[in-house]
Amino acid sequence: MATGLAYHEDFLKHLTSPQHPERPARLLAILEGLDQAGLSKGLARLPVRPIEREWVLEIHSPEYVRRLEAACQDGLPYLDTPDCAICRDSYRVALLAAGAAAAAIDAVMARQVRRAFCAVRPPGHHAEHDAAMGFCLLNNIAIAANYARRRHGLRRVLIFDWDVHHGNGTQHAFEADADVFFCSIHQDPRALYPGTGYAAERGIGPGEGATLNLPMPAGSGDDDYRRILQGQFLPAAEAFEPELVLLSAGFDGHADDPLASIRLSDEGFAWMGRMIRGLADRFASGRLVSILEGGYNLDVLRRCVAQHVAILEGG
């Protein structure tokens, strides 16, 4: 069974600036890497269209969605914070990115593909219920998790976020929900944006215990990640017995990324990819959807995303 690729050329129309870390060249590097690795022709290209507004409004407030749409229509340079650069096309492209994640869910659930990778931008995991943050406009993975449960009747969904920055928006979307297990491994929030994701943040009310934050000291590398994930994440994830696994796949924890101080190697990302694929195989009939988040070194993206997609294919 083929691996799915959810991509649309209009993702390149979300224009930031040539100096902005989250820029169209990121996706061009990824596509180039897939071609160079001989992977492109074997992937199942998934049809991508903008997600319906109703699904967005289950994660984001109506007032926020109106502000986002209006800011783009008015040609404002950013929304809420200067790092969330926008252009006139950004609202439509954000809907398209969330739609790509939903299309991947549909394809995996219909057994058209076993696993899927969503090469999308803008990223999503920092976007809050009522605010843009950290390059993110709509929370793609939170919308996808809710979509999987409502559209396909799944109960237990696991979200693993290995981006170097804490997935604050995703955590807040589900922190009171016992049926979405969220784990984020990231650089210690005392020294890195967004300043959330402490180990004591374990969920609230009925969701207490379904949030697992694994903050890592600056300079942590492959062995440190392996030890923590084997010791804390895997036992908790296996006890949860997910029916679907979603991955916030940020590649900014690489030693060569300019925005953080974690020291993962290509092999460190490969090990994590095999780990999460194995978890999906054991508990979720292989159902795994990986959604691009951060990663700002183009050479790293070119290599590591191709490696990641090969692992999704079973390599």
The pTM of this model reads 0.98
Looking at residue 223, which CATH number applies to its domain? 3.40.800.20
pLDDT at 187 > cutoff 90? yes
What's the total number of domains in the chain?
1
Find, among 74, 125, 68, the residue nearest to 91 by Cα: 68
**CA–CA gap between residue 151 and residue 116 (Å, rounded):** 18
Average pLDDT of the residues in 233-248 = 98
Average pLDDT, the chain: 98
Per the structure, the complete domain to which residue 203 belongs is given by 4-312
E strand intervals along the chain:
4-6, 44-45, 115-118, 157-161, 180-187, 211-216, 244-249, 288-292
pLDDT 10s digits, 60-78: 999 999 999 999 999 999 9
Lookup result for tokens 């690729």:
5
Long-range contacts of 196-200 (CB under 8 A, 24+ apart): 196/166, 196/168, 196/171, 197/166, 197/167, 197/168, 197/171
pLDDT at 110: 98
pLDDT at 1: 80
What percent of the chain is modeled with pLDDT above 70? 100
Q: Confidence band (pLDDT; 50, 70, 90) for 269?
A: very high
pLDDT at 3: 97
Q: Confidence band (pLDDT; 50, 70, 90) for 215?
A: very high
pLDDT at 220 > cutoff 90? yes
pLDDT at 184: 98
pLDDT 10s digits, 121-174: 999 999 999 999 999 999 999 999 999 999 999 999 999 999 999 999 999 999
* Catalytically active residues, by annotation: 126
pLDDT at 315 > cutoff 90? no
